[in-house]
Chains A and B, each alone.
Chain A
Amino acid sequence: MPIQVLMPALSPTMEKGNLAKWLKKEGETIKSGDVIAEIETDKATMEVEATDEGTLGKILIPEGTADVAVNTPIATILADGESAADLAKAPAPQQKAAESAAPAAAKAEAPAPKAAPAPQAVAEPDPEVPAGTEMVTQTIREALRDAMAEEMRRDADVFVMGEEVAEYQGAYKVTQGLLQEFGAKRVIDTPITEHGFAGIGVGAAMTGLKPIVEFMTFNFAMQAIDQIINSAAKTLYMSGGQMGCSIVFRGPNGAAARVAAQHSQDYSSWYSNVPGLKVVAPFSAADYKGLLKAAIRDPNPVIFLENEMLYGHTGEVPKLDDFVIPIGKARIVRSGSHVTIISWSNGMSYALKAADELAKDGIEAEVIDLRTLRPMDTGTIVNSVKKTGRAVTVEEGWAQSGVGAEIAARIMENAFDYLDAPVARVSGKDVPMPYAANLEKLALPSAAEVVEAAKAVCYR
């Protein structure tokens, strides 16, 4: 029976890709390991290798086709003795793309099924964007790259260093193209040596340079946390204001997908505990761009927490020459009067989905994207809670000593008399992240849990 070749997933977050090129023609013999096609994603072009032998029977998706969903049949392979007449007998698409085709090169990212859903449309316009501004649709990955490229063009003291940022074009392709534009002096591949290169970055920053230090993930930054806190965060104070450092530590933070406990920790509360650091954790593509530009310009050390699940998500980014969003300002992305839901980074995915669900039941949630965790925009939270009288925090990290606990304390300190119910926290479960898909799902927060918490504080 003819074998179907399916569109493969080349990375944990890939949902679709472009079929760039067929390297074999119909009727050509195919051996196992032959490269039969090239597939493009927003990150890279990858080769598809055949894992079956035979003859390329029929190309189902012509080259140049964009946005082919993962697992779509793209061709059929005829086994020995089969002919084109047998094509009609091809089976229904299998669910495992890997059985008929596999990516040729190993990826730095771990395999994973699907990305979280794209952000919902937001109800409130962004006050940072002038009305009538032209918008461009970009992935968050591209928004980050553009932010760095714009700041590097603007200031020769800005450079990027980290593992695989240059030749490899970024482990997650965030630094794609920077080496080509700025050269090896300003886009620097480091050895795998987080503690050492974090310290080198801080030392360089003490002299007035403005490093962007990329950690492949913040899980690996635990090796470097001494330099981040003891050297970067404290030197300005310890020197009586003489010597500070303008430096950005950035990279993916928190849970990706199916990468287990050591690669899935959320460090929001760790870094936001430390005076001397600023901590930014955006959700939308526009915020990623505008806040990274602000972080690079900031004269202080900034922890810029990204989320791998969001890198491939697209959003509208203002087409402005210099779009900078001030650090320290939360944003009301959806207004409502019954309950305030406060989150940041990928937590916003659950918050916005929950708000949609709640609206169906007549509960209008006001959703606040904190965007910056330190300094925290207490005013925006408190003003909202004064209006709604109820609050739910949503975070992927652990609850104990978490950011949600801090938000709850600030609400109690500043709006106690306005509260109609205790503040509810939705968080990651108090366990190391499990690998199994079902357990991982249980360990993370969900929109359903946010809905449940919001209904509870509304006594519904």
Chain B
Amino acid sequence: MAAPKKAAASTAQDKTDGGSPPEFTREQELKALRDMLLIRRFEEKAGQLYGMGAIGGFCHLYIGQEAVVVGMQMALKQGDQVITGYRDHGHMLATGMEANGVMAELTGRRGGYSKGKGGSMHMFSKEKHFYGGHGIVGAQVSLGTGLAFANHYRSNDNVSVTYFGDGAANQGQVYESFNMAELWKLPVIYVIENNRYAMGTSVSRASAQQDFSKRGASFNIPGQQVDGMDVRAVKAAGDEAAAWCRAGKGPFILEMQTYRYRGHSMSDPAKYRTREEVEKVRHDQDPIEQVRNRLLAAKVSEQDLKAIDAEVRDIVNASADFAQHDPEPDAAELWTDIYR
């Protein structure tokens, strides 16, 4: 079976008008807007709480990249697994995990998804099929391939969606995993979130092959570049990749061309790029504004959009309140969950 033809790439770096993605229904647009706004407002609040000292350690915000997880999630079905690296808050909210539990984990409280023992980079939800939250760059790629292995072993038609960044794409175990995934025809979508910077190192300074959709070429894994700022393009690519995997054809690579507005982590002064570069992407390509503008053009009232905004703000404010008032874990928790 031949690889599907490469969709016209419309990139964050160089946006073209070639091949506009399929339109969303009004319901889909509204859902995408609401889910992306939830992530944006949540992350803004997490940034504030970090500044107040309520969140410690590392905290990597997803602002700017929201269309990737929201669009992909719209392409999935019940039982599909999601796994990612350390920039994971958006993925958790997109899978339907509760804002309260995520925020309380950020503040290290007992009501957090990991009872306060995992923190920003380590949360999981069996119920939502979210497998972490991993702090070692690239490790989630082998693990996500293992989730796909389990689907294959159990002969179900679920897909593992394995997210990693342009930085992780240079780790050796990524290619070990690609090889076995194609060899054994495992149902895994490798979503490479190319936000153009691995911490402070731009793609051009770190990658000999900067077209990440080609990174599976020597394993015969098909790949596609996707405008990761357009939630419709993401969903369309996700649909195609998921169908490929569910048909037993093996893995699929999606390079999501996206952008992170904030620094790598809260302590990053972001001296490696200009303010103008960030502002230009924000102004021209913001994933949320794209949807909002389309909805307004389609005569959805400002009033209705404000209602969504208000609902999201309520959820986020409530989560911040919960996360600051929930007690810390009991001291006895130090010694639990080491063995089952």
Q: Residues of A with Cβ closer than 8 Å to B?
A: 159, 185, 190-191, 193, 195-209, 226-227, 230-231, 235-244, 275-276, 278, 299-300
Contact = CB atoms under 8 A, between A and B. Distances in A.
Interface string B5-36: 00000000000000000000000000000000
A44 to B, nearest CB: 27
12 contacts: A193-B176, A195-B142, A199-B139, A199-B146, A203-B146, A204-B153, A230-B135, A231-B139, A239-B118, A239-B132, A243-B124, A243-B131
B111 to A, nearest CB: 10
A382 B257 CA distance: 62
B86 interface: no
B142 A227 contact: yes
A267 to B, nearest CB: 20
Interface in B325-340: 336-340
Contact of A207 (B125, B150, B173, B336): B150
Given A199-B177, A226-B136, A204 B146 contact: yes
B224 interface: no
Nearest to A205: B146
Contact of B115 (A191, A226, A240): A240
A240 B111 CA distance: 10
Nearest to B126: A242
Which 9 A/B pairs are nearest by Cβ-Cβ distance? A203-B146, A199-B142, A196-B176, A240-B115, A203-B143, A240-B114, A238-B122, A241-B337, A200-B146
A243 B117 contact: no
A202 B145 CA distance: 10
Interface in B291-308: none
Nearest to A188: B184
Interface in B115-140: 115-118, 122-126, 131-136, 139
Nearest to A191: B179
Given A198-B142, A199-B139, A239 B114 contact: yes
Nearest to A193: B176
Contacts of B144: 203
Contact of A237 (B117, B172, B176, B179): B117
Given A209-B153, A231-B139, A241-B336, 8 more contacts: A185-B153, A191-B183, A200-B180, A203-B146, A236-B337, A240-B115, A240-B117, A299-B340
Interface centre among B139, B149, B340 (most CB of A within 10 A): B149
Interface centre among A203, A243, A275 (most CB of B within 10 A): A203
B147 interface: yes
A226 B134 CA distance: 12
B153 A196 contact: no
A368 B18 CA distance: 74
